A and B are shown apart, each in its own frame.
Chain A
Amino acid sequence: MISFRQSLAILSGVLSILALFFPLGELNGEAVSLWSDSGLTAFAIVSMLASVAVLLNRLKGLKADLVLVILPHVGAWMLLSRLDVADQHLASGFWCLVVSSWLMAWLLVDQLSAKKTKTPTAKRFYSIVVPVLFGVWLLLLWELVVRGLQIPTVLLPPPSMIGARFMASTDILWADFQQTFLKAVLIGYILGCGSAFIIAILIDRSPFLQRGLLPIGNLVSALPIIGVAPIMVMWFGFDWHSKAAVVIIMTFFPMLVNTVAGLSITSSIEKDMMKTYAASYWQSLIKLRLPSALPFVFNALKINSTLAMIGAIVAEFFGTPIVGMGFRISTEVGRMNVDMVWAEIAVAALAGTAFYGIMVVIERACTFWHPSFRSSR
């Protein structure tokens, strides 16, 4: 029986052998074999040897880590620099090597995720390194495929071009970020979540309102609320106010439903105990029920962080002043400045992930007592 690891090694080895015999590409109309590029030849031979060693179980432990960290990345670097040769047309040999080095990297990921770690710091380290490796290879393959196949940059620019554009136009990106994120998203998010939280506490005293509002809230959470964007733009004008209004409406119902559900989570035995302490309604709310509702509240805050970004950006498709992330995306698409669009998307992705991440950090700090965090050991 061949293990997953061994089959990866076999594939990688076979591909690096094939690369030695297939044409690397065409230069000025003439076929070029791999042997003309000494660096890539060496890489193919070494990776073939490494695959055989993995297959025969000779390459293990720290030695294997070292080889697999160095080999595929040096290979990828050589493949990337090969792209700079002008007037060439890359062929099957090149792609065999690309796939072979990618499989090597996968071997590394497989090996790292199988590690049995002793300390929590080491565990944390590996839980970060593995997905980062995955992301790096995604970018590497993107760059190699787009530039190697000479895909027009209008369709899909390589990451290096997007990065260059990002660096060159930080001032525009910052202005858009300010307009969309710091004004529309943050203000709308705070107002929407805050008002829903307060209303949830108010209707908590009336079981009648709770029974009536919860099903409606659940229903509304499933509706395409984003559709109110054109109405809000009509009511509140083109500036950030209308976008903030869309964000308020989008974030309101998830927060309301979750807070009400969270407030009803306390068991009767806990409420009875508060009663034996002669706690007033407000005392038991603040000391018992709000803390135990926090996991639900943070769940809504996390969902809403994504919804708020989406709401603000989509609302900008319906009309904006000449600044903002959604505006920039829709106009630059029209002008075929695709690298700028991708730079803007990168900003949106970074902002969205950071926003979510901050919520997770605050959640950990506030609900450290919750079983879902305690049992992680």
Chain B
Amino acid sequence: MTTDALISPGVTGGQGLWSRLMSGKTGPVLVIVMAIIAIWYFSAVMLNSPFQKEIYKRNSVEWTTSQLISDTLSQERPVLPAPDQVVVELYKTTILKKVTSKRSLVYHSWITLSTTLLGFIIGTVLGILLAVGIVHNRSLDKSLMPWIISSQTIPILAIAPMIIVVLNAIGIQGILPKAFIATYLSFFPITVGIVKGLRSPEVIHLDLMRTYNASNWDLFWKLRWPSSVPYLFTGMKVAIATSLVGAIVGELPTGAVEGLGARLLAGSYYGQTIQIWSALIAAALLAAGLVSLVGISNKVVLKKMGMAQ
């Protein structure tokens, strides 16, 4: 998963702007985004019109095509809300509402974000510790690694309600149970990445360290750890995205109290499609922001370490 979409090269102007735009990535991406929006509008009209026609029939109103289109795009509970409706809802629930209000999407996003980050941090630490254990201990490598891999083939999200109920019962409440689910999903890419990274130094480098009479400790801090940093960031990019998924799903069984997952669940209970879509878009923006943040820190750190390509 790359962040190319987010950090696409800016076009500096000058001659042949159009062809330069279209030969890079920006132009095609823009065209496809426009196409998606057009398709979205079209399907909104198609999906919402049966219900609208029903209303016309019941009220015996004469209708024209243009009126039908404008009505289908401004229903209160549409099957598929139009993009502008979602944008308006997003604007209303972020800018116009106070941040502390229970109806503010910023508030719910913050709840989800804090769970995501806590889960991600615990997952990263756990992932690194496991990887160090695996690289330095033969029996852990042979016995634990297969289980770590198969742990991810288990649909852990199925256990989410279980974990939350059990932890609630022993008195752990609030953010931690949700963060555990995010942790479970996020430690795996980190462990796999770092194990690969810690083993990435070539034999010639290891031999050089040995000629310096380096201890295992030095070998780790001066050679293995620095060379695993690029792998750590690759893992972290995947991990933060899965951590967000874990946080959202973790909010479902708590009974739709707070967070983006709760907004999704509440929206589906009450048929508030616009609310679902705006929560979805907010989650997508959150994911894109987090992934690009990791991407940027990756570039900065690698540059500081002199490893940038």
Closest to B282 in A: A227
Task: Find residues 214-252 in chain B having any chain A CB closer than 8 Å to their own CB.
Answer: 237-238, 241, 244-245, 248-249, 252
Is B22 an interface residue, CB under 8 A from the partner?
yes
Surface stretch bound by B, among A191-199, A283-291, A310-318, A368-376: A310-318
A131 to B146, CA, bound (A): 7
Is B144 an interface residue, CB under 8 A from the partner?
yes
Is A64 an interface residue, CB under 8 A from the partner?
no
Give the contacting residue for A325; candidates B143, B158, B166; CB below 8 A.
B158
Interface membership of chain A positions 123-140, coded 1 if the CB is closer than 8 angstroms to chain B and 0 otherwise: 000110011011100000
Is A78 an interface residue, CB under 8 A from the partner?
no
A260 CB → nearest B CB, Å: 13
Give the contacting residue for B138; candidates A110, A223, A345; CB below 8 A.
A110
Given A113-B138, A222-B291, A226-B245: A329 touches B158 (CB 8 Å cut-off): yes
Is B161 an interface residue, CB under 8 A from the partner?
yes
Closest to A351 in B: B155
Task: Find residues 264-303 in chain B having any chain A CB closer than 8 Å to their own CB.
Answer: 264-265, 267-268, 271, 273, 276-277, 279-280, 283-284, 287-288, 291
Give the contacting residue for A224; candidates B27, B28, B159, B248; CB below 8 A.
B248
Surface stretch bound by A, among B1-9, B61-69, B97-105, B201-209: B1-9
A316 to B17, CA, bound (A): 50
A329 and B161 form a contact (CB under 8 A): yes
Give the contacting residue for B165; candidates A113, A228, A333; CB below 8 A.
A333
Closest to B112 in A: A224
B158 and A345 form a contact (CB under 8 A): yes
Surface stretch bound by A, among B29-37, B51-59, B118-126, B190-198: B29-37
A273 to B6, CA, bound (A): 37
A223 and B288 form a contact (CB under 8 A): yes
Given A110-B138, A114-B138, A353-B153: A348 touches B264 (CB 8 Å cut-off): no
B253 and A218 form a contact (CB under 8 A): no
Task: Find residues 276-313 in chain A having any chain B CB closer than 8 Å to their own CB.
Answer: 305-306, 309-310, 313
A229 to B261, CA, bound (A): 11
Is A77 an interface residue, CB under 8 A from the partner?
no
Q: What are 20 residue pairs bridging A and B, where the CB atoms are less than 8 Å apart in the complex?
A: A113-B141, A114-B138, A131-B142, A208-B28, A209-B32, A211-B28, A212-B31, A218-B3, A219-B3, A223-B284, A224-B248, A231-B268, A233-B268, A234-B79, A310-B156, A338-B166, A342-B162, A352-B153, A352-B155, A353-B154
What is A's interface to B at a CB cutoff of 8 Å? Answer: 4, 106, 109-110, 112-114, 126-127, 130-131, 133-135, 154-156, 208-209, 211-216, 218-219, 221-224, 226-231, 233-235, 305-306, 309-310, 313-314, 317-319, 325-326, 329-330, 333, 338, 341-342, 344-345, 348-349, 352-353, 355-356
What is B's interface to A at a CB cutoff of 8 Å? Answer: 1-6, 8, 22, 24-25, 27-29, 31-33, 79, 137-139, 141-147, 150, 152-159, 161-162, 165-166, 169-170, 237-238, 241, 244-245, 248-249, 252-253, 260-261, 264-265, 267-268, 271, 273, 276-277, 279-280, 283-284, 287-288, 291
